[in-house]
Amino acid sequence: MSASQQPRLDEIEERFAAVLAGRLSRDEADRWAGEWITAEGLAWDDVSWWALGLLHGIDLPAGPEDGFLHDDAQVRSWLAELQVRRAA
């Protein structure tokens, strides 16, 4: 992965929206973010790094029951906060 391929903030934002719309699984979003977080030699702005950190872990289970630690309402609030931070 190179800096020229590094996702822009709008691409990161789209991953949140895709998870909520059911176009992208939480596992896929987690793996995608994990690849970028562990890539070496990339420089991230604070908002992008914050958002990637949320995506990386979006598929954590709530426990032995079905469900996720972070439900859709939490993901929607992250997306809303990302949009506010992006506009600032």
Asked if 41 contacts 3 with a C-beta cutoff of 8 angstroms, the reply is yes
Instruction: Convert the pLDDT of each residue in 25-56 to its tens digit.
Output: 999 999 999 999 999 999 999 999 999 999 99
Q: Of 82, 64, 86, 88, whose CA–CA distance to 16 is shortest?
A: 82
Q: What is the pTM of this model?
A: 0.91
Instruction: Look at residue 56 in the predicted model and tell me its pLDDT.
Output: 97
Cα gap 83→26, rounded to integer Å: 20
Neighbours of 32 (CB within 10 A): 18
Instruction: Look at residue 2 in the predicted model and tell me its pLDDT.
Output: 63
Instruction: Look at residue 63 in the predicted model and tell me its pLDDT.
Output: 81
Asked if 59 contacts 27 with a C-beta cutoff of 8 angstroms, the reply is yes
Domain boundaries, the chain: 8-62
